[in-house]
Amino acid sequence: MRAHPGARAAWSASSGGYCSPRRRAPSCIGLSSMSSLTEKDRPVAQLLLNTGTCPRCVFRFCCVGSQESYRRPHKDLLRELHDFLENSKDKEDILCCSEAADPPSKRIRLENTEGTEDLNQNGALQHALVVNDENAAPENLTLTVCNVCLGVLQEFCEADFVKKVCQNVNSAEYEFTSFVFSVSLPPQLSVREHAAWLLVKQEMGKQGLSLTKDDIVQLKEAYKWIIHPLFSEELGVPADGKSLFDVSVVFAHPETDEDCHFLAMAHPDCFKPAKKKQSVFTRMAVIKALEKIKEEDFRKHFPCPPNAPKNFCTVVEIQCTNSAIFVAGRYNKYSRNLPQTPWIIDGKRKLESSVEELISEHLMAEFKADSFNFSSSGREDVDVRTLGKGRPFTIELVNPHRVQFTAEEMKGLQQKINSSSDKIQVRDLQLVTREAIGHMKKGEQEKTKTYSALLWTDKSIQKEDIAFLDDVKVSRFPF
């Protein structure tokens, strides 16, 4: 459980003293054994729910660090939050009877007060949770789109969505033993989270507490807490942050795309066109602008709480990628009419093949890769043969679908390459790491070569001719 930084000395009514936020005092009433909401969270929870925030985002802003709390079904969370706040209302009614002399401003008001109504006038619809209606049941209320996460922690935490993504993964026929899940969120979510943070910070200030952005559970973090076990069960492999196989989901929300635009007017220096970027409103640019903008300026241009959206986010892309695989070996070239790499001038091929192509076509087929990058330790001219032990080379296979090969399978692949052409032969074919490639390139700048040549002349060479040649200065050109 992550505690509010300003709540390091929280008042305990039953004990008559202060209690640490990490140790629950007898008066700390939890929503359940997993959610761990306390008395100090009630005003914030009520405020956020009334302004259109989903239960999981309520947990985030109440700094709930229990992963299991977020994994519970949305309906269960909504029902238990309803019970939690109803319990608070009942306690308040008792307080009103026993301590009638206390002014209302000194008690936590859980009804829809005038202040909350003012907040709703900013455009936020009241959440589907009405605590002052005794007959209201969360199961019978309509689900509204969260005004902070835009439905990411609602619609996209369900089993149907997980199955849809996993169907895409399985249909791509990748080979993997674990996975890492990455998600790309619309940049305007940062704006909406900032607005909700200002709202919660203001409410907590009334209690003498504080809340920094770092205390809030990040949306991506909470989402991965929920989604990782679901994906792991469906795919049958564990989630691993160091996995070489990545499942990526990209969200968009066109309805609120303009949420970020006022930041470009306030801090244009944060929004500079970037290469290969379709929009200047990147997540990092928006975060930079939010760090610079003053609170009063932000409130002038954006409602706190944020407006309630009509639609959920949409998934615009589901992509799978395997990290690159590196294959190394040595090649001999026996032809004097074969370039190392494709020889193409002005779009026209000069020779029909190359060393690179004769090797890579077999690797591409076996590894089922999207593309490749060939490199070698030096190169030879088209009419020069490469004999002896051969020239070291590596091929980077980009996004391979197959990644596991035994030593025997690599030996068979080597034989397949060698039997396909009499122009080249490869040896020592093996899988290597990215780091191992550095050894092949090491020393290229310092490496020197010595050439010897046998000359014929139409006349005998005299000592004067040798002296003349010795005096000739040879220019050195960097390669």
Catalytic residue chosen out of the listed positions 133, 381, 422, 470 = 381
| Cα–Cα distance, 285 to 396 (Å, whole number) | 33
- Concerning whether 259 is annotated as a catalytic residue, the answer is no
Cα distances (Å, whole numbers) of residue 90 to 12, 79, 111, 326, 342: 19, 16, 12, 66, 80
Please measure the distance between the N-terminal and C-terminal CA atoms of the chain and give it in whole angstroms: 61
d(CA 173, CA 447): 44
d(CA 280, CA 278): 7
> Cis bond leading into 26, ω under 30°?
no
Whole-number Å distance between alpha carbons of 314 and 294:
31
Query: Which residues, in sequence order, are bridge partners of residue 345?
Result: 348
Rounded Cα distance, 427 and 26, in Å: 73
Cα 289 versus chain centre, distance = 21
Taking the CB of residue 68, how many other CB atoms lie within 10 A of it? Answer: 12
Pairing of strands 10-12, 314-322: unpaired
- Non-local (6+) Cβ contacts of 221 within 8 A are none
The HSE-up count of residue 340 (CA atoms within 13 Å, CB side) is 19
Q: Which residues have a Cβ under 8 Å from the Cβ of 146 and sit 6 or more positions away?
A: 52, 53, 54, 57, 152, 153, 154
Q: Which residues are catalytic?
A: 381
